[in-house]
Structure 1
Amino acid sequence: MTKKITGAEYPLSKIFSSEFEFVIPSYQRPYAWTVDQASELLDDLVAFHEAEGEEGYFLGSIVLIKSDGAPLSEVIDGQQRLTTLTILFAAIACAHDAANKDELKPYILEPGKKMEGILPKPRLSLRARDQGFFTKYIQNFNLNQLMDLDSSSLNNESQRNIRANAEYLLAEIEKRFEAPDELEAFVTFLLTRCFLVAVSTPTQESAFRVFSVMNSRGLDLQPTDIIKADLIGQIKGESSQNQYNEKWEEMEIDLTRGGFNDLFSYIRMIYAKEKAKRSLLEEFRAHVLPNNPDPRAFIDDVLEPFAGALNDIRSASFVATQHAETVNQYIRWLNRIDNSDWIPPAILFLKKHRGKPAQVARFFKLLERLAAFMHVDRHNVNDRIEVYGELISEIEGGARPDDMIQLNFNVKECKQFRAALDGDIYKLTPRRRNYLILRLDSFISDGAATYDPKILTIEHVLPQTVDDGSEWAEWWPDAEERERWVHRLANLVPLNKKKNSSAQNYDFAEKCKIYFSGTKNVSSYALTSQVISQTDWSPRTVRARQKKLVNVLMENWELD
């Protein structure tokens, strides 16, 4: 008889026990969580621990190929959380001179039970190419040795993410929990009040089916379907119900089913002004519906205007007799940001002030600047949600854009923005560095250029590797100085396609001609054209260019 799919909720003390032996299959993608996700996880755990004295914290679900009664668990979904939680336990174990190492070691390494035939082994095994690294530094608690390694020397992005997250979590644990009893209480919370749902099935086929269903947006029941049934069911009269049902379905068709579900998340944020702690359905019922007891008024006065505003945002199609193209340009730039946290205040302002296009244009100019700052300065989701929550309150209070505290920068914030712009831009994620380079190019070209991100690549002028005896070595004899400048704004140029890598180390003039120039010996980008017009690429040239480019950004974003 075939075993059915089962699911059960387990505290982390059981997840990291002899009941499970987690293995990441070789076909899974590498470990991809960065400090952004690790910091979000830790922030959420600490905040819940401090605010909720007794309740349990739900960490989501994992999908496993696992036979009943056998610990071996092939992880189909959940690798990122299991790996990050293991790094977190290792960081806690190593914190404060490894005071809690003995207590936490069994949750990372199975000690073995000879009489039960259980061998000593790691509780989590990553893909083969990363497991040796993970065992040596994380599961054997050698975090100090790991910190001594230069990220650039590591074999792949997965190992660099493991190192970065371990460094971050160790530093944060020691900073946030200085007293031993506070850290012990937090560990107790993690082990006993943090839960994962493990969905298990004995075959790969059924495991992938479960994973597909859990992640599908298809025709599965969405929270919006349940809310719709609740609201339209309250409307009296069949003709009225049909009328509002048609309105609802038109909005869903216009935004697509997924986009419509996103709209409800954005509306929830507008009312709650904080990060969601429970499901969308629960949060919507707690924060939105009590403020809108009349279902007709909610659909007419809340849902429809917000749906229209979101349509404008998604397609950059704001319409007005004046300033419309200006607004749509800012919206297009905002849509390049790597998160959608800015959308709730955007649709709220559009809903309230659609008839004042000059104000709308000013608001979106300042909103794009704020989003760009948090984008480039690597603010995590909790920081962003706090800022946008306060901005929503200012919009509701009727403040004009230039009077909104969240949209305007003080001297300290301007310096912080300048420092971020003056840093190693190439080390940002591709989406962040591409955004900044193209935004700078748009300022230099007076906004006349259009960009296709699908064919964009960012390249170094001064190569990352300099050959002895080359012109580059003559201009840049100091290796430390090269390292300081190679990844900064002045040394980066956008190209509209990936060029022949063999040309990357050519001397400057030849590199400009073969590598940076287009088919007509010109570039599509103003930034690249500026480089081509230079006669040399010495440290003096790059320093002057860096100062000029940072000033262009500061001036155009009104930060000087």
Structure 2
Amino acid sequence: MKASETSIRNLLEGTKQFQVPLFQRPYSWNKDYWDALWNDLMSIYEGEIEGFYFLGPIVTQAVSGTADGISPFLIIDGQQRLTTLSILLATLRDKLRQDNNSLAEELHESYLINKFKTNEDFFKILLTQTDRESYRYIINNKQQDNKSNGKINDAYQHFTKKLERQSRSFCEKLKSIILEKLIIVNITSDENDNPYLIFESLNNKGQELTQADLVRNYIFMKLPIDNREEQYNKLWLPLENTFKTQVGDKYSEELTNAFWFYLRKDGKSVQQKNVYQSLKKRFDDPQNNLTKELQLIVRFSKYYQRFNFPEQEESNSKFRKYFNNLLRLDFKTSHIFLLNIYNDYENEKISEQDFEKILIYLESYFVRRLFSGVSTQILGGIINNLYLEIQKTKFSSIVDGLYKTLNNFDNKKRWPTDEEFKKNLLTQTIYKGAKNDRTKFLLERLEQDQGQETVDLSTLTIEHIMPQTLNDEWKQQLGANYSSNHSKCIHTLGNLTLTADNARLYNNSYSRKLELLKRSNLYLNHYFREIEHWNFETIEDRANKLADIAIKVWPRQQC
């Protein structure tokens, strides 16, 4: 490797092109970084910093070119700085063009483009596919549509605002500062060096990158050069773009999570922080075909998307309902097992009907354990190994194997019986602070099972019929033991319902609440129409009726 100190002018002059390889993350600088760079430039402009200003290193690798073409270099490290400076030079060019300043064309032709080249060779910097279109618009000074907006365009708009009230002389001086005063150390590696290993070392084994970033980087450095672009466009980029649509800037973290679930689907225990290292071992295994491994990762990541973003990604309405249920219950651990089930379904090893039965059993298993007070802490280990356990048995089908496996679990792994489930629904506190959406889900499912009318349940909230804070009227109505009985019953199933009138009901007397509840179209509130007095006996009676429905909604018998 060779290192030399150089100015931005010397770095960019000549028929060169700096290419951002596929293993690099997209442009990610934000306002904090842009402002830090601008403030440094202003310090030089105001004379607070004298002489040259060291901007940091840029690591590149020379790539074979042609005699009549450009001199290409891969940017191994420093693409964020170099891209930002290029965008800033483009904003300076556009500002100077407003005054028909010849410096504008000098900036454009000497430091932004290779004037006599065409197609991709035309640009001094060639970004990855994610950013390429937005960058082209800026360099070609064309209006961007909304689809092209992103960090690249944000940076351009940011610096455009910085320059909009500045004079011609300010812009001319700033141009000289950027090209002459900013100094970098250009470290150029030999063409035979492994650019990814250099990149990985410079990024301290991934501490500054997400696990998904490192996975992408390693895959596309391992793939043959003539196959990288095709596989990136065909497999990786569409997957990455879908995650961006779903979670925005957090897409890389979500992709990491998808890989983590993929690694555990076969019963292996893998920590999330070791996702990259675990996948790297697979890629390095000579028995594995790298392209096929990439196809597998992408396929299972798409299943992950269907579980986590069912409204956008799952077309089957039955599956979509159950996937939403599992999300409401925060039972994402089930996705580890379901990755294999969805793959079996896609490969026509199980039918749609059997898949639905599997989802019914899983939801029942979780709900019965949750509302029976059985610890959920060991669920990770249970679900991790569940598919393997079923595979080892001699059941006629996966769905039968799942049912009998769950049915045979005992002690801490048990699937609560009807008796245990009902007993706990009668007595357990199910209204629990941060987990109250699970309680609302339970009430919604009871309503959906029995209700005859379509109601928008999302607008409803949980109401305590006997209020959480008792006034004198309630104390008198509940009798001498109101305090101890209130503590036992207040958050149990029998005392909870759904309503859109929570604010109006509040701590009112039962007679006042009854006036409002009688108007409700919900099945859950039909019970109150015949109940003139609300006390501990009626709470228990209603809980019994609702618990019987819950046993049917979350069955334990074989479908």
What is the match of residue 427 of structure 1?
Answer: 432
| Offset at residue 296 of structure 1 (A) | 0.8
| Contact 2:264/2:270, CA 8 A, preserved across alignment | yes
Does the residue aligned with 1:549 lie in a helix, a strand or coil?
helix
1:261 to 2:249 alignment: no
What is the match of residue 548 of structure 1?
Answer: 545
| Contact 1:273/1:392, CA 8 A, preserved across alignment | no
Number of equivalences: 327
| Offset at residue 306 of structure 1 (A) | 1.1
1:504 to 2:506 alignment: yes
Does the residue aligned with 1:333 lie in a helix, a strand or coil?
helix
Q: 1: CA distance between counterparts of 2:219 and 2:269? A: 24
Does the residue aligned with 1:425 lie in a helix, a strand or coil?
coil
Gap regions ≥5 residues in structure 2: 1-206, 245-250
Q: 2: CA distance between counterparts of 1:265 and 1:357? A: 27
Pairing partner for 2:466 from 462, 465, 472? 462
Amino acid at match of 1:359: D
1:306 to 2:300 alignment: yes
What is the match of residue 265 of structure 2?
Answer: 270
Q: 1: CA distance between counterparts of 2:371 and 2:279? A: 32
Amino acid at match of 1:467: N
Aligned residues: percent identity?
15
CA displacement 1:200-238 (0-9 Å, x = unmatched): xxxxxxxxxxxxxxxxxxx96221222222222222242
Q: So what's the TM-score if we normalise by structure 2?
A: 0.52
| Contact 2:262/2:301, CA 8 A, preserved across alignment | no
Q: 2: CA distance between counterparts of 1:284 and 1:377? A: 38
What is the match of residue 231 of structure 1?
Answer: 219
What is the match of residue 333 of structure 2?
Answer: 341
What is the match of residue 42 of structure 1?
Answer: none
Q: 1: CA distance between counterparts of 2:286 and 2:344? A: 17
| Contact 1:337/1:432, CA 8 A, preserved across alignment | yes
| Offset at residue 419 of structure 1 (A) | 4.1
Q: 2: CA distance between counterparts of 1:547 and 1:283? A: 50
Q: 2: CA distance between counterparts of 1:396 and 1:291? A: 27
CA displacement 1:370-404 (0-9 Å, x = unmatched): 23234435666641111101223146558522322
Does the residue aligned with 2:224 lie in a helix, a strand or coil?
coil
1:436 to 2:442 alignment: yes
Give the structure with higher Rg (CA).
2
| Offset at residue 430 of structure 1 (A) | 1.8
Q: Alpha carbons of 1:250 and 1:466: their partners in 2 closer, same or farther (altered >3 Å)?
A: same
Q: 2: CA distance between counterparts of 1:473 and 1:416? A: 34
Alignment of structure 1 residues 184-199 onto 2, 5 Å: none
Gap regions ≥5 residues in structure 1: 1-218
| Contact 1:462/1:472, CA 8 A, preserved across alignment | no
Amino acid at match of 1:337: L
Pairing partner for 2:239 from 251, 257, 273? 251
CA displacement 1:493-540 (0-9 Å, x = unmatched): 12236414xx433222211224x46xxx325x4313433553332333
Does the residue aligned with 2:328 lie in a helix, a strand or coil?
coil
Amino acid at match of 2:440: N
| Offset at residue 245 of structure 1 (A) | 1.0
1:371 to 2:366 alignment: yes
Q: Alpha carbons of 1:371 and 1:231: their partners in 2 closer, same or farther (altered >3 Å)?
A: same
1:531 to 2:510 alignment: no
What is the match of residue 324 of structure 2?
Answer: 332
Q: Alpha carbons of 1:408 and 1:234: their partners in 2 closer, same or farther (altered >3 Å)?
A: same
| Contact 1:268/1:288, CA 8 A, preserved across alignment | no
Q: 2: CA distance between counterparts of 1:292 and 1:271? A: 18
1:316 to 2:310 alignment: yes
| Contact 1:309/1:347, CA 8 A, preserved across alignment | yes
What is the match of residue 417 of structure 1?
Answer: 421
Does the residue aligned with 2:485 lie in a helix, a strand or coil?
helix
| Offset at residue 267 of structure 1 (A) | 0.6
Q: 2: CA distance between counterparts of 1:291 and 1:329? A: 42
Amino acid at match of 1:276: Q
Pairing partner for 1:384 from 379, 385, 394? 379
| Contact 1:334/1:371, CA 8 A, preserved across alignment | no
Q: 2: CA distance between counterparts of 1:273 and 1:381? A: 19
Q: So what's the TM-score if we normalise by structure 1?
A: 0.52
| Offset at residue 425 of structure 1 (A) | 1.2
Q: Alpha carbons of 1:311 and 1:476: their partners in 2 closer, same or farther (altered >3 Å)?
A: same
Q: 2: CA distance between counterparts of 1:288 and 1:390? A: 24
| Offset at residue 242 of structure 1 (A) | 0.9
Q: 2: CA distance between counterparts of 1:447 and 1:297? A: 50
Alignment of structure 1 residues 13-412 onto 2, 5 Å: 221-238=209-226, 240-246=227-233, 247-256=235-244, 257=251, 258-274=253-269, 276=271, 278-285=273-280, 290=285, 293-300=288-295, 302-316=296-310, 324-354=316-346, 355=348, 356-377=351-372, 382-394=377-389, 399-404=397-402, 405-408=404-407
Does the residue aligned with 1:462 lie in a helix, a strand or coil?
coil
Q: 2: CA distance between counterparts of 1:338 and 1:439? A: 15
What is the match of residue 476 of structure 2?
Answer: 473
| Contact 1:426/1:488, CA 8 A, preserved across alignment | yes
Q: Alpha carbons of 1:237 and 1:427: their partners in 2 closer, same or farther (altered >3 Å)?
A: closer
Amino acid at match of 1:326: K
